[in-house]
Every structure is written in C-alpha cells, then in structure tokens.
Amino acid sequence: MAARQELNRRGFLQVSFAAASGLFVSLYLDPKSASLAQEAPMPPTQSKVYPPDAFVNIRPDGKIVIQVNRLEFGQGVQTALPMLLADEMDADWTNVIANLAPAADVYKDPLFGMQMVGGSGSIAHSFQQYRELGAKTRAMLVAVAADHWNTTPDKCRTEASVVYGPNGKSAAYAELAGEAARKPVPAKVKLKSPAELRLVGKRVKRLDSNAKCNGSLKFGLDLDLPGMKVAVVAHPPVFGGRVKSVVDDEARGIEGVTNVFDIPLAKGTGVAVVADRFWAAKQARSRLKIDWDLDDVEKADSAELWTRYRQLGRTPGNVAVSNGEANAIDKIPANNRIVAEYEFPYLAHTPMEPLNTTVRFDGDRAEVWAGSQFQTFDQLAVAEVLGLKPEQVIFHTEMAGGGFGRRAVTDSHVQREAAAIAKRLRGTPVKLIWTREDDVQGGYYRPMHFHRVEVGVGSNGLPVAWRHVIVGQSLLAGTPFESFAIKNGVDATATEGTADTHYNIPNFHVTAHHPKVNVPVLWWRSVGHTHNAFVMETMTDELATRARMDPIAYRRKLLKPEAKKLLSTLDLLEKASAGWRNSLPRGHALGVSCHECFDTGVACAVDVSIENKRPKVHRATIAVNCGLAVNPLTVESQFQAGLSFGLTQLMAKGAITLKNGIVEQRNWDGYVPPYIVDAPVAVDVHIVPSGEAPTGCGEPPVPVISPAVVNALARLTGKRYRTLPLVNV
C-alpha cells in the first residue's frame, strides 16, 4: 500500500498492467497462447496469497457471507463464485450470503491485475482462487476443532458447516470461527477431487432470484441516502461540443432545483442540473437554453463514413495475419472467386438500468456507489477529479441492471461527471442519472465496421485463398490497454474472430484500417466477435452451399484438426439437433454457425421462418464446450438469453446512425432491441462433458446467433444478407 500511495494515477496503471501483462495479453487477446494453458487439467495455482478473511465471514448465527470480487449484472457470478468457495469449505449452501465486494486491491482479478468484469474471465480467472480460499478456510476451522478434541485434522470430516471428529464429536463452523481466524493461513491445501464436489458441476439456482422477483433488490439507481440530491447533465448535441453560454432562469424556477452549473466532460463541457428529485431535474434540464460551441468539433455522419470506409476497405491495411501467399487470390479464376462486402452500424448497449453513479465528497474523503465493471479505474477517476488518493475513496459495488460492456469504460466518464458535481456540493450525496436518451445518444458504441472479403474456392469446394480487409475505429487506441492490444497498427479487438480463425485456409491474409472518428466507441458484449463471426460464418455457409455440402459437415472438414473445442461442439450439435434439423415444416429453414471466443467453443442450429417480413426463430439448439461447467444451469441460462442480445444487430431498427454529428435515435423507439416476439421461442443448450479448466460463458452466446439466422434466411430467399441492420428480408 505504501508504495502505491506514492504513485500517481498514470504510474499506478503502468505498474498494475506490467504485473499482469503477460497473462493479460495471452488470455484476453491471443486465444492461441491461451489454449496451450488448457492442456493442463486445472489452471496453475496463483502465486498471490489471498487472506480468507477478506472473502469469508462466518457469522455467529451460522450465516456465511462470501465476498464476490466482481460486479453481478446478470451473468450469475454472484452465485457461481460462492459455489466454488462453499464447496471446498463444505459450507451449508442454504446459509450462504453473497456480497459484492467494494473496490480494494485484494479483489482485483488475479490475471488482469485490476478489479473488473470483462473478457468472460470471471470464472476462468477466479476458479482456482475461490476454491483455494474455501479449502483454506475449511482447514483453519478443522485445525481448531482438532485442537479441542486432542486429535489431528485428518481424523475429522466436514459437511454443511459442521466439523465431525472421533467419538461422535461435532462442532458448528460458527462456534469455531473466532478461534479459526487467529490460526495461520495454510500455504498449501488439497482441493477436492471431482467426485468429492457437492455443488460445483450441479444445476444450482441463483441466490438473487427472490429479491429480484419481489422488488426488494436495490440496484445502483435505487440508492437512497439521507439528504441525497439527484443530478442530470445536459450534454452537447455533438461529441466534444462546449457550452458557450447558458440561460437557466426558467430551469432554476422549477421547484426543487437547487443548482445549475457547467461541468467538464470526457470530451467538451456540459451543464449539470441538481434537484431534490429526478423529475424536477429532468424538467429543468429541458428548459435550459444553451448556446453550444460546435465550431471545432468533427461532425460524424454515417453516410459519409460509409463512403470513406468503403474506399478504405478496397485498399490493403496494416497486416493482422498473413499465412501463405498474400496475393494468391489474384491467381484464382474469376468464376471461382467470391467478393463480398459487409457493413455493420454503430450499436448501443442500452442496459436496462440506465447509467448512474452516486458520490458524496467530504473534503478529505469520498464515498462512491456504482454498478461498475471497472472498479479500479472508476475509483481512480473519482479520486483524480476530487484531488484525493484512491484509498480515500470508498467505492461500493452496486448491483447493476445489465451492462454488456457499457459499465467497463476506460475513461470513467460517468463517474467523472458524478464526481465533478459532488465536488461542488461538498457533504451532500448526489446521484447522477443518465436518462435513456443520454444513454442512446451518449456514444460509447460498438464501432461501425466495413469488411471486404475475397475468397478463392478450390476444386474440392474449400477456400484456398482468402484476402480480408477490416475497417473500423480502434477500441483501445488512447486507453491504458493500447500497448498490449495494438500491434503493427492493428487493434486485435477489431480482428478477433477472423485473424485467429480456426478454419484451415492455406493462403490467409487479413489487414485492418482504424480511421479516427469523433464518436466514442466501446466494447459491446463479445467485442470484435460480433462482426467477425458474422462475416466468417455467413461466408463459410455461402461456401458450403456452393459446394452443395451439409453445413455441419462442411465446417467440420474446414476446421483445423487442433480446433478440438469447436469440433466437439459440432459433433454434439449434430446429435442434439438430429430430431428436428432435417424434418422442418414447409417455409422453415435450418441455419448453422459455429464460433470460438474467449476460449469457449459454440455451435448453433436454428429453425427459422419468415413472419411479417421478419425472421422468426422457432428453435435454437446450442452445443457449448466451456471446459468444466461450474454451474450448468447458469451456462444454459446465459446461452438461452444471450442469443437475444446477439439478435440486436439483426433488428430492423438495430442501428445507431449520425447525421451532421447528431445521433438520430433518442430512445428505445428509434433504437429497438429484441422483444419477446423477436427472440427464439425455445433454446435447448447442450454442454460437452469436460474436466478441463472452465472458460467463460458471458460473451460466447452472442456471436453465433445472427449468422445462423441469416444463413437460414439465405436458404429461404436465396439472398445473402451482408448489410446490417436487417431492414429488408
């Protein structure tokens, strides 16, 4: 801690990332290196020592409170991490309470070196950590009991929060906890064998269901503190605009409005309105008359951007990967060559709970409440705005209503706004609310992308040459992740899913352009895989159709033999969908896709018809290989529901567009994500049995669904769909 206090923010970031860099890069961005680690049956033991008391509190009433070092925002980590710990600890599951941990060094991701949710890494990275914490806690409790009974720990056994000793002796964990806390933490512990596990691998229901079904669960937006004020901010109509002048008499005249003042934004400036209640603040904001200075800001325009992107895409970019001969495609006769261009618009995340953060600044300390995927960054950002050291900022992790990447922002712009407002209202807690309009229009979108693909087909129907250009803004340029993710001018998050394809293509050449555009961009659940999987899986399907081959058989033939995860999912998919795949009613068609990301392999088959000129997904069958499924019920749920998130990009109004710098959509009327009628009616999920280390399931559901659906549409209409959103079927 002492060393950390002396570091400024920039220095601290460098130190944290340097410590984690090797693992960070290999696990997050380079699936090839990561797959080597998977040959070991379990991930290597982390060298860092985690004090059990920071994670487990056994209360006198027998309740066991487990700290979760991640944000819970639907993905189920608040249940799965406690399962890992409780299983090794032999805790009574019915008495386990999970708590979202505040920001602190001890809760940093063991591999990423910062406290965060991202890269589908929560279970993959904390699997060993939570198991060891449970086993160590158990060992300390058993040691105390053994001392009392004048016996040795190996003569004791544990079950449901009770230690049993020789001669019928027993003691509840709650009775032993006080003494156990004074025992030394064992350096090494033996973990359970698979056969000994009681919770891990079982379908365990979520711990947070009741509270989410009776309205009692408090999300960040539900926070209520004595004397709390509510703030909204008027943002410039064009990113980076600045307030020239503001007439606020009418706004101030609204009852309950207490303050109106300019604040700095991540880009440009805005006007904060503070009131006793949200409605007053929102009404007042709409009555501000602001003269904006927009002269020197670039006014992005979707139509102009497409023109620019198409031109760029027809020229080679920086090389992401080049196997074989770069220009082999030019030697392929024209009738064996396919040239295809794809367009993907900006997409907003629009999590159900609007963005919000509450801050109270007390001069020499501050307190923050936020549903954050990046606690470490957000805590530092608030500290910086308030002129405090990070340890002077108490940062509470609030339950969040979805996120999908939107709460993992390297510039912490929402927290900075909240801190700037709280700074002016010293001693008063202020809850900053981004309205849905602020969210839809506020940037931080999945970037627009253009792909141009030229494929040369061999006599066996398989591709022999593949030249691919990807155009899109870099997600990571200018962020602390830049040096790890951008190599040779290529941002790996833009090419992932193509550059690292598991298909065996002898002459494979991928390049990328990253134009700079005045629109803030951000990772959107599954990041680059959203567009790359679409291109790879629709083109592969086109090739399979051209070769008159079964879509599953074709993919199996094209995959590299070492793509074991994907091959296993195709095998399982073939079996699991056998009952319906080849006996569809008239007007229905099969669509297939497979994709590996975040080290998880997924294969998908859908039964699609066209209803009201839209795709109707009657059924989806999913096969997944995620190593050991810690909680198969959560894995199933993530896939059943995550498919709908992936379908966002097929919605007729699933696009953010700009005209002369201004975002054209305002709310969920102009930007329309999938509702129940747009979602798959039924999804059956099949998990490849595996004892390998667990890999993530938060993002892998997203990439497979839109190509699978479009592949089915192609069978129904004979058309290829390469421009999203899917306006016309």
Q: Under the rule (CB under 8 A), what is the footprint of another protein? A: 73-76, 205-206, 208-219, 221-222, 224, 230, 255-256, 277-280, 283, 350-354, 399-404, 435-437, 633, 637-638, 640-645, 647, 667-669, 673-677, 679-683
Q: Is residue 42 within 8 Å of residue 692, measured between CB atoms?
A: no
Say which amino acid occupies 537: E
Q: Which is nearer to another protein, 263 or 280 (CB)?
A: 280
Q: Which is nearer to another protein, 366 or 687 (CB)?
A: 687
The rounded Cα 646 to chain-centroid distance in angstroms is 13
Who's near 146: CB < 8 A, 6+ residues apart?
152, 153, 155, 156, 165
Q: Which is nearer to another protein, 409 or 651 (CB)?
A: 651
Q: Which is nearer to another protein, 165 or 642 (CB)?
A: 642
Say which amino acid occupies 82: P
The rounded Cα 323 to chain-centroid distance in angstroms is 31
- Distance (Å, whole) CA 116 – CA 109: 7
Nearest approach, Cβ of residue 707 and another protein (Å):
17
Nearest approach, Cβ of residue 399 and another protein (Å):
8
Collapse the DSSP code of 685 into the 3-class scheme (helix H, G, I; strand E, B; otherwise coil) and give the result.
strand
The rounded Cα 545 to chain-centroid distance in angstroms is 33
Nearest approach, Cβ of residue 241 and another protein (Å):
24
Q: Which is nearer to another protein, 158 or 640 (CB)?
A: 640
Q: Which is nearer to another protein, 473 or 665 (CB)?
A: 665
- Tokens 């993710």 correspond to 485
Q: Which is nearer to another protein, 118 or 313 (CB)?
A: 118
Nearest approach, Cβ of residue 672 and another protein (Å):
8
Q: Which is nearer to another protein, 457 or 683 (CB)?
A: 683
Nearest approach, Cβ of residue 405 and another protein (Å):
12
Q: How many residues does the chain have?
A: 729
Phi-psi label, residue 201: left if phi above 0, alpha if psi -120 to 50, beta otherwise: left
Both tokens assigned to 161? 């929060």
Q: Which is nearer to another protein, 59 or 205 (CB)?
A: 205
Nearest approach, Cβ of residue 434 and another protein (Å):
11
The rounded Cα 577 to chain-centroid distance in angstroms is 28
Count the neighbouring beta carbons within 10 Å of the beta carbon of residue 463.
23
Closest by Cα among 654, 643, 657, 620 to 706:
643
Nearest approach, Cβ of residue 71 and another protein (Å):
10
Q: Which is nearer to another protein, 73 or 377 (CB)?
A: 73
Nearest approach, Cβ of residue 97 and another protein (Å):
17
End-to-end CA distance of the chain: give it in Å, rounded: 59
Nearest approach, Cβ of residue 648 and another protein (Å):
9
Closest by Cα among 485, 491, 405, 492 to 444:
405
The rounded Cα 12 to chain-centroid distance in angstroms is 24
Strand partners for 597: 600
Nearest approach, Cβ of residue 443 and another protein (Å):
18
Instruction: Give the Å distances, CA to CA, from 312 to 325, 469, 515.
Output: 22, 9, 9
Report CA Rg, the chain. Answer: 27
Q: Which is nearer to another protein, 424 or 436 (CB)?
A: 436
Q: Is residue 399 within 8 Å of residue 219, measured between CB atoms?
A: yes
Q: Which is nearer to another protein, 477 or 610 (CB)?
A: 610
Q: Is residue 502 within 8 Å of residue 544, measured between CB atoms?
A: no
Who's near 152: CB < 8 A, 6+ residues apart?
146
Closest by Cα among 539, 484, 481 to 510:
539
Q: Which is nearer to another protein, 158 or 358 (CB)?
A: 358
Nearest approach, Cβ of residue 640 and another protein (Å):
5
Nearest approach, Cβ of residue 234 and another protein (Å):
16
Q: Which is nearer to another protein, 206 or 531 (CB)?
A: 206
- Tokens 């839809």 correspond to 440
**What's the number of CA atoms in the CB half-sphere (13 Å) around residue 490?**
22
Strands 683-687 and 96-100, how do they pair? unpaired
Closest by Cα among 55, 68, 56 to 115:
68
Provide DSSP, 284-315: HHHT-EEEEE-TTS----HHHHHHHHHHHHTS
Strands 463-472 and 507-513, how do they pair? parallel
Nearest approach, Cβ of residue 444 and another protein (Å):
15
Q: Is residue 376 within 8 Å of residue 108, measured between CB atoms?
A: yes
Nearest approach, Cβ of residue 394 and another protein (Å):
22
- Distance (Å, whole) CA 261 – CA 229: 15
Both tokens assigned to 542? 């086109």
Q: Which is nearer to another protein, 131 or 349 (CB)?
A: 349
Provide DSSP, 504-539: --SEEEEEEE----SS-B---TTTTHHHHHHHHHHH
Nearest approach, Cβ of residue 495 and another protein (Å):
27
Q: Which is nearer to another protein, 119 or 642 (CB)?
A: 642
**What's the number of CA atoms in the CB half-sphere (13 Å) around residue 75?**
26
Nearest approach, Cβ of residue 201 and another protein (Å):
17
Q: Which is nearer to another protein, 400 or 710 (CB)?
A: 400
Nearest approach, Cβ of residue 378 and another protein (Å):
19
The rounded Cα 264 to chain-centroid distance in angstroms is 28
Does the N-terminal peptide bond of residue 585 adopt cis geometry, omega within 30 degrees of 0?
no
- Tokens 């058993």 correspond to 142
